[in-house]
Chains A and B, each alone.
Chain A
Amino acid sequence: MIGELRRAGGGGRMSVEEVERELARLRMGEDGRLGLRASVLNLIAVTGEETAPRVAEAVSRLAGEHPSRTVLLISDPAGADRVDVRLSAFCTPRGGGTQVCAEQITIHAEGAPARHLESIAGPLLIPDLPVFLFYTGSFSASSPEFSRIARLADRLIVDSSSWDGCGSAFGAVAEVLSRPDLPPAGDLQWATLTPWRTLIAEMFASPERAGELSGIEEVEIRHAPDGECRALLLAGWLASSLGWRLEAASGSPPARELRFSGPPGGVRLRMEPAAPGARLARVTLRSPGCEFRVSRSLDRPEARATVSRGGRVVGESTAHVGRFDMSAMLAEELRCRGRDAAYERALGAAVEVLGA
């Protein structure tokens, strides 16, 4: 977390005007100077009681990277009707005695208000700034409650790994994407793949290696125990980018063996979780003469890419792949505006794999 956390006292049910007034008061420093409000976006985070602490921690850490007004909605539709508002600001000192504050409005909504979250979040959004909706749990795209709050947003962010199975998460997101009245969507699990995809693309960037792409015959994805959704999206990305068509799927999930047509002779793709206790995740692509591998020790922030020919390493690079906590993944997703065509193609291919 960057800067100083300030919390307003009290809580309970407040009017929108009271919320705005109290937030302005929180921005005021001890010297009476009003801190600048820095906002590049609105973030609505919807979560349940159980995951609320983790989500609250993640969104508060974002204040340092994506200054925003965050509306954290902790929802319990089964409870008795109640709305409780808590306010906080994260203020960072800047030069010249100024300070900059990002605001967080935490609202517990229970009972009927929890079914109309849009009526609570809507009036609190800062005008003229994009709205991101981070929906942390599962949802049905066709439910009126979900649709109403989703329509407030310019972009929906989900975390498919938090669902019971990637299939239901991917299916729900695919339905959102098919609905013109709902916003484009992204997935934290896709965000974590960016450095991996960059390293894979880089291995084939030179003209003499690009040719190997059309000869890929085998792919292995060894993923972290909680990385099944990521692995499926990575497989979907490779298949959709390189024009591979799914022919057959076998194995017992999460271990899968897929056969694709496309290149001469087809492609065999195996994915499986690393053995318990293993500290390595890796992706290996093989053509008749070459092996391309990106691997990462799970306790290290770097990944290593190697190109081997005849068993000899002929190219290598090591780069940072970043952090993979919820806050870092969310920060990556918040950089994306509008539709993410590569993700949507990868998701489509992953849905096909799961349906095969």
Chain B
Amino acid sequence: MSGVREELRDALADERRIPRPPEPAAMVIFGASGDLTARKLVPALYDLAAARRLPMGFAVVGVSRTKMSHEQFRQRLRGSLERHRAGGFSEEVWESFSRSIFYLPGDSRRPETYGELRGLLERLDAGRGTGGNRIFYLASSPSLFSPTVERLGEAGMSREGGGSYVRLVVEKPFGRDLESARRLNADLLRHFREDQIYRIDHYLGKETVQNILALRFANGIFEPVWNQHYVDHVQITVAEDIGIEGRGAFYEEAGALRDIVQNHMMQLLCLTAMEPPVAFDAEPVRDEKVKVLSAVRPIPEERVEEVAVRGQYGSGWIWGEEVRAYREEEGVAPDSATETYAALKLYVDNWRWAGVPFYVRTGKRLPKKVTEIAIRFKPTPHTPFARAAGAEPNVLVIRIQPEEGVSLKIGAKIPGSGFEVGSVNMDLLYGTAFLEEVPEAYQRLLLDLMLGDATLFIRADEAEAAWSILDPVLRAWSGAEDVPVYPAGSWGPAEADDLLRRDGRGWRRP
């Protein structure tokens, strides 16, 4: 009989215009009084509800130490939702969605909290049809990740049974170095299987980042030239014009290497350098990414200076406005050596990329906000044109933000007599071809999470492999007291230019 039921149910949903709905579930957010819940998670869930993508049997349970009633929690979220979510706000959708929001005041380190949580979840299963499925979302301070998981495990709440699932979501940072990442993974894996764990780096939820894979693997023309035979080098830039935006205390502990390079930049490196996965599924994609990270040439601690540059912004001018130096920011030590800029030269030692340097850089208070991957091809072996000085090697730029698109620099004849060649850019802005509303990264990732698709989440070995690459740099930089200063509004310290100049190359101006 159950086969017939499923067949009937599937018959209604079995067509391309009706998306597969996730199974009913309750999502428990630890650290629910924090910024992430109000700014990102609940708006994303609200958008999913409005777009008919949430199951009818769904509930959100916020857990944190702040004393609040269900209604106070809802009102707080509503206020934030109206301020932060993209697009309009519908009273009707909110009214219906808010009835699925609940709150449990409690300390996530205390076992009693979990007894109360279990009771609430069982009542929701009965009253709201959440079906026994559980998602535990760690949106709290990283120091609470391990204790929370420990308590969940002790309470038996990590165990699946009766056809229900239990999933655990961990927000970055996944540790602050290799050792702490390993420790965290070990703590998580003591109570959850790896396939229950979803490590979230919202960067992967961005359509623009996923488009790198589409460009590479949905277009046959790039693959034959995507290797050391044709590529001279690759430059990956994640530049921000903003400073630390009042997050001094956080940034002092993090720095550019931990905040951006370990996660976002390593992901961009992986997507650029990886082999085609056999399928766009969790394991094939993540296997290929781990292979890239494993192939990155280790950086000996004593040679960090040769391949890595850091910097810290001083005062300067950006877009006609004078901005203060990092050390003058709130919450920053006057003698801070924290890097706000990092550049590295990496090699991916495999058949495809042998000898091709990957220059990666990120920084705050650079001239503009831009994220791009530039593939610079080798020059033609010989030019038959006497006046081809204006022609430069081809560069394929994958722009991720702000204007997503692809730009190819090609040589073209300059009109007129003779045969003078110059470089022109051929631009395609993806956004101009598909003007459909782009879902927020969290919207996409939360839906994938509920559907059990881990493709865009980080696996334990992936996080550890990224830390392995950077650990020697972190160690080398941790002891240094001086950091090169670059003026805000410039493209970084002079040492970063030297890094490429030594190789006879230069950074492109994005």
Q: In the complex, which residues of chain A have a beta carbon less than 8 angstroms from the beta carbon of B99? A: 316
Q: Are B90 and A204 in contact (CB under 8 A)?
A: no
Contact stretch, chosen from A13-21, A70-78, A299-307: A299-307
Q: Are A320 and B402 in contact (CB under 8 A)?
A: no
Give, as a whole number of angstroms, the nearest-CB distance from A195 to chain B: 6
CA distance A197 to B19 in the complex (A): 11
Q: In the complex, which residues of chain A have a beta carbon less than 8 angstroms from the beta carbon of B57? A: 206, 315
Do most interface residues of chain A lie in helix, strand or loop, or is the interface mixed?
mixed
Q: Are B429 and A100 in contact (CB under 8 A)?
A: yes
Q: Which of A205, A307, A314, A336 has the most CB of B within 10 A?
A: A205
What 0/1 pattern do residues 161 to 197 of A give for CB contact below 8 A with B?
0000000000000000000000000000000001101
List the 7 closest A-B pairs by CB distance, nearest first: A318-B96, A210-B9, A38-B432, A342-B15, A100-B432, A201-B12, A213-B8
Given known pairs A38-B432, A205-B56, A206-B23, the reply for A342 and B93 (CB within 8 Å) is no
CA distance A154 to B380 in the complex (A): 42
Instruction: Determine if B436 is an interface residue (Cβ-Cβ < 8 Å).
Output: yes
29 contacts between A and B (CB under 8 A): A40-B434, A65-B436, A94-B403, A94-B432, A98-B427, A194-B17, A197-B12, A198-B18, A201-B13, A202-B55, A204-B9, A205-B21, A205-B55, A205-B56, A206-B23, A206-B55, A207-B5, A208-B129, A211-B5, A214-B4, A214-B8, A241-B11, A241-B14, A304-B96, A305-B56, A319-B49, A336-B16, A340-B17, A342-B17
CA distance A318 to B54 in the complex (A): 10
Q: Are B23 and A95 in contact (CB under 8 A)?
A: no
Of all chain B residues, which has the CB nearest A100? B432
Q: Are A64 and B435 in contact (CB under 8 A)?
A: yes
Q: Are A318 and B435 in contact (CB under 8 A)?
A: no
Q: Are B97 and A318 in contact (CB under 8 A)?
A: yes
B residues near A, CB below 8 A? 1-2, 4-6, 8-9, 11-19, 21, 23-24, 49-52, 54-57, 90, 92-93, 95-97, 99, 128-129, 131, 402-403, 427-429, 431-436
CA distance A241 to B428 in the complex (A): 42
Q: In the complex, which residues of chain B have a beta carbon less than 8 angstroms from the beta carbon of A64? A: 435
Give, as a whole number of angstroms, the nearest-CB distance from B322 to chain A: 25
Q: In the complex, which residues of chain A have a beta carbon less than 8 angstroms from the beta carbon of B11? A: 241-243
Q: In the complex, which residues of chain A have a beta carbon less than 8 angstroms from the beta carbon of B56? A: 202-203, 205-206, 305, 307, 315-317
Instruction: Determine if A36 is an interface residue (Cβ-Cβ < 8 Å).
Output: yes
Of all chain A residues, which has the CB nearest B92? A302
Instruction: Determine if A67 is an interface residue (Cβ-Cβ < 8 Å).
Output: yes
What 0/1 pattern do residues 10 to 48 of A give for CB contact below 8 A with B?
000000000000000000000000001011100000000
Number of CB contacts from chain A to chain B under 8 A: 143
Of the candidates A200, A210, A318, the one whose C-beta lies within 8 Å of that of B95 is: A318
Q: Are B52 and A198 in contact (CB under 8 A)?
A: yes
Q: In the complex, which residues of chain A have a beta carbon less than 8 angstroms from the beta carbon of B17? A: 194, 197-198, 336, 340, 342
Q: In the complex, which residues of chain A have a beta carbon less than 8 angstroms from the beta carbon of B51? A: 319-320
Q: In the complex, which residues of chain B have a beta carbon less than 8 angstroms from the beta carbon of A342? A: 14-15, 17
Q: In the complex, which residues of chain B have a beta carbon less than 8 angstroms from the beta carbon of A199? A: 52
What 0/1 pattern do residues 215 to 244 of A give for CB contact below 8 A with B?
000000000000000000000000001110
CA distance A96 to B9 in the complex (A): 49
Q: In the complex, which residues of chain A have a beta carbon less than 8 angstroms from the beta carbon of B55? A: 202, 205-206
Q: In the complex, which residues of chain A have a beta carbon less than 8 angstroms from the beta carbon of B97? A: 317-318
Give, as a whole number of angstroms, the nearest-CB distance from B198 to chain A: 22
Q: In the complex, which residues of chain A have a beta carbon less than 8 angstroms from the beta carbon of B19? A: 198
Of all chain B residues, which has the CB nearest A316? B96
CA distance A64 to B436 in the complex (A): 9
Give, as a whole number of angstroms, the nearest-CB distance from B275 to chain A: 29
Give, as a whole number of angstroms, the nearest-CB distance from B428 to chain A: 8
Q: In the complex, which residues of chain B have a beta carbon less than 8 angstroms from the beta carbon of A307? A: 56
Q: In the complex, which residues of chain B have a beta carbon less than 8 angstroms from the beta carbon of A304? A: 92, 96
CA distance A171 to B50 in the complex (A): 36
Q: In the complex, which residues of chain A have a beta carbon less than 8 angstroms from the beta carbon of B429? A: 36, 38, 94, 98, 100
CA distance A246 to B432 in the complex (A): 47
Of the candidates B6, B49, B50, B54, the one whose C-beta lies within 8 Å of that of A210 is: B6
CA distance A214 to B90 in the complex (A): 35
Q: Are A67 and B432 in contact (CB under 8 A)?
A: yes
CA distance A348 to B207 in the complex (A): 38
Q: In the complex, which residues of chain A have a beta carbon less than 8 angstroms from the beta carbon of B427? A: 36, 98
Q: Which of A39, A204, A319 has the most CB of B within 10 A?
A: A319
Q: Are B93 and A94 in contact (CB under 8 A)?
A: no
CA distance A203 to B12 in the complex (A): 10
Of the candidates A36, A198, A207, the one whose C-beta lies within 8 Å of that of B432 is: A36
CA distance A66 to B432 in the complex (A): 9
CA distance A2 to B54 in the complex (A): 31
CA distance A118 to B447 in the complex (A): 45
Of the candidates A98, A242, A341, the one whose C-beta lies within 8 Å of that of B15 is: A341
Of all chain A residues, which has the CB nearest B429? A94
Q: Are B403 and A96 in contact (CB under 8 A)?
A: yes
Q: Are A38 and B433 in contact (CB under 8 A)?
A: yes
Q: In the complex, which residues of chain B have a beta carbon less than 8 angstroms from the beta carbon of A202? A: 21, 52, 55-56
CA distance A201 to B15 in the complex (A): 11
CA distance A317 to B58 in the complex (A): 10
Q: Are A67 and B433 in contact (CB under 8 A)?
A: yes
Q: Which of B52, B90, B95 has the most CB of A within 10 A?
A: B52
Q: In the complex, which residues of chain A have a beta carbon less than 8 angstroms from the beta carbon of B431? A: 94
